[in-house]
Amino acid sequence: MSKVYDRVMKCLECVRARTDFVPKVALVLGSGLGDYGKEIRVEQTLSYHDIEGFPVSTVPGHHGQFIFGYVGEVPVVCMQGRVHYYEGYSMEDVVLPVRLMKMMGAEIFFLTNAAGGVNETYNAGDFMMITDQISQFVPSPLVGPNPEEFGTRFPDMSEIYDEKLRDVLREAAGELNITLHEGTYVQTSGPNFESPAEINFLRTIGADAVGMSTAVEAIAANHMGMRICGISFIANPAAGLSDNPLTHEEVQAAADAASARFKKLVTVAIKKMGNEN
């Protein structure tokens, strides 16, 4: 048994000692979007602290618990708070939660994040469906001995974000009259925001939104064969595109202001995912 697999299975044992809930959708809530938990018919919560060996986030505004429950009739496990590479965690730690949620039974991985708008047509407060990603500025979470139990050594990444789930997100946004951009997300290491020159560079290589999470989690999920979708909340124009310096407080305030629309979008989308198999 590989070391990584063994570690995930030990976490799974801790979870299974407390709940036998089997989720269909695994949802990750990004910065400032953590209060989505209130939209869930909660069956049970489980603090990350209660899972032996589980990485616990240090970022203000990130809670640290799994919520098990239902959105409509769809069983969901929701991560209220994720851990980031910039906190000093290894990539193995960063992707442990998604591996664990897959072992709980989740088939669909729904990522959300707060991001900077690199695309000059985006405004703060917009949403972007992630259609592809650039992760080359951070180490791959698959570096190291390959945990064969999860997937193959050299996994294909030509369609990380599932075509059918993209249709689901488009439909949900359409029904709610919410504009949903479609674009490429780039993950930087953080914790510093980017310089204007870096943002110009990222735009030149094809990025539309930039953030400090998500892409590596999507790689680990794709490695395991999960179906993936993602939405970036555009919290601010990226560096150089506005006169104001960037702050984490601004990101959180923007996310709070958009949270009602965001919640509706996620709820309608998840209900539709109930029909996906």
Stretch that binds ligand HPA, among 59-67, 93-101, 110-118, 142-150 (CB under 6 A): 110-118
Binding residue for ligand HPA, selected from 212, 219, 221, 224, defined by CB under 6 A: 212
Is residue 114 near ligand HPA by the rule CB under 6 A? yes
Q: Which of 87, 194, 198, 217 is catalytic?
A: 87
CA 91/CA 142 separation, integer angstroms: 8
Is residue 59 near ligand HPA by the rule CB under 6 A? no
Is residue 34 near ligand HPA by the rule CB under 6 A? no
Is residue 138 near ligand HPA by the rule CB under 6 A? no
Beta pairing class for 74-80 and 180-187: unpaired
Binding residue for ligand HPA, selected from 67, 95, 111, 235, defined by CB under 6 A: 235
The whole-angstrom distance between residue 29's C-alpha and the CA centroid of its chain comes to: 6
- 129: which 2 tokens? 């469906």
Question: Minimum Å distance from CB 238 to ligand HPA?
Answer: 5
Binding residue for ligand HPA, selected from 40, 78, 251, 270, defined by CB under 6 A: 251
Is residue 210 near ligand HPA by the rule CB under 6 A? yes
Residues 6+ apart with CB under 8 A from 136: none
Question: Contacts with ligand HPA: how many residues (CB under 6 A)?
Answer: 13
Residues 250, 256, 261: CA angle, nearest 5 degrees: 130
- 138: which 2 tokens? 């951070």
β strands within the chain, DSSP E = 25-29, 41-47, 65-71, 74-80, 108-117, 127-134, 180-187, 209-211, 227-237
Question: Minimum Å distance from CB 130 to ligand HPA?
Answer: 14
Q: Which of 57, 113, 135, 213 is catalytic?
A: 213
Query: Hey, is 214 helix, strand or coil?
Result: coil
- 192: which 2 tokens? 């510093």
* 259 assigned to active site: no
Question: Minimum Å distance from CB 212 to ligand HPA?
Answer: 5
Is residue 246 near ligand HPA by the rule CB under 6 A? yes
Is residue 254 near ligand HPA by the rule CB under 6 A? no
* 63 assigned to active site: no
Residue pair 172/272 in contact by the 8 Å Cβ criterion: yes
| 205 phi and psi angles, rounded to 5 deg | -85, 5
CA 46/CA 272 separation, integer angstroms: 26
Is residue 238 near ligand HPA by the rule CB under 6 A? yes
Residue placing its CB nearer to ligand HPA in the complex, 147 or 183: 183
Binding residue for ligand HPA, selected from 26, 115, 268, 273, defined by CB under 6 A: 115
* 86 assigned to active site: yes
Query: Residue 119's closest CA among 137, 131, 110, 111?
Result: 131
Question: Minimum Å distance from CB 258 to ligand HPA?
Answer: 12
In DSSP terms, which residues pair with 46 in a beta bridge?
66
- DSSP letters along 58-74, please? -STT---EEEEEEETTE
Catalytic residues: 31, 62, 84, 86-87, 114, 212-213, 236, 248
Which residues bind to ligand HPA, rule: CB under 6 A?
114-116, 193-194, 210-212, 235-236, 238, 246, 251
